[in-house]
Amino acid sequence: MILVTGANGFVGSAVVARLASERVATRAASRTLPDRLPPGVTPIPGAELNGDFDWTRAVTGVDTVIHTAARVHVMKESTPDPLAAFLATNVEGTLRLARQAAAAGVKRFVFVSSVKVNGEATLPGRPFRADDSPAPMDAYGLSKLQAEKALRELGERTGMQIVVVRPPLVYGPGVRANFLRLLKLVRSRAPMPLGSVRNARSMVALDNLADFLCLTAFHPAAAERTFLVSDDHDMSTPELVRLMGAAMRRQPVLIPVPVALLTRVGRLTGLSAEVSRLVDSLQVDIAPAKQLLDWKPVQTADEAIARTVQSFLKNGG
């Protein structure tokens, strides 16, 4: 029996669907749940990390928890104290769940963390590795790091196996935030000043991440490990834009503008973070995932981007 938290979310719903397709007994926990769940999935409605939710019924009889629920990173933060809000949900709420899981005899706890624990950018040819010194740059990344540390300490005391997975940008049908903005720009045919960008970024398709998380729930070699995961196909921002355009049957207009000038404009306009995500590199090393777990992505990046674009267009773009 597997419990999936955040089961109504972008990642959690994909994990539930994957487990159901493999006919794995699954409990789906979320604050709200759809009226229909896949066959064999038991709903746990009203579940939330904030407050004093009692997870006892949800975790009793469960072998593994796949914990996707979280307060997620947002571009325009409106909370007066973002760090406190992230810590309350991503650390305290996670620990409340994990303690009750350990007390109920849960054997393994798979925690969906973030590459933001490693940092925001990589140097050419130097991808992030799971054993690198953490360097979170924002409240979200810091909260994920603190949750990782607290879970490992709990695992050492209780014997519950802790598995940490740090994905980079996750995309797929229904994606939002930065990826959706880029899709809309490509659709609009607006010229983009990205022709001189020569970066390399790792991403992970939703289906690939769901497959990997389900594998870590069972594989003996995943115990007590931290993994980075991606499509195993790093690409530049212009390459991503061209793939989006090809799927839309449109030719993007990429104007060559020096990256230094884009960076300077970002600083002057208060958009440094947005510009950095377009021009900087962020690569992850997934060799341990491939070697220790004998894993490979179930979907190529080209296929996943095409599916994402098709869904985007089907739903009105």
Model confidence at 75: pLDDT above 70: no
Q: Which residues contact 177 (CB under 8 A, 6 or more apart)?
A: 75
Helix (H) or strand (E) holding 301: helix 301-314
The string of pLDDT tens digits covering residues 212-254 is 999 999 999 999 999 999 999 999 999 999 999 999 999 999 9
Domains within the chain, CATH numbers bracketed = 2-175+202-234+282-300 (3.40.50.720)
Residue 96 exposed, middle or buried by CB count within 10 Å (0-12, 13-18, 19+): middle
Query: Are the CB atoms for 171 and 304 separated by under 8 Å?
Result: yes
Query: Please, what's the b/e burial string for 69-81 (b: 16 or more CB within 10 A of its CB; e: otherwise)?
Result: bbbbbeeeeeeee
Model confidence at 112: pLDDT above 70: yes
Predicted TM-score (pTM) of the model is 0.95
Q: Which residues contact 60 (CB under 8 A, 6 or more apart)?
A: 104
Amino acid 308: pLDDT: 97
As a whole number of angstroms, the distance between CA 96 and CA 256 comes to: 51
Amino acid 186: pLDDT: 95
Residues assigned a catalytic role: 140
Model confidence at 78: pLDDT above 70: no
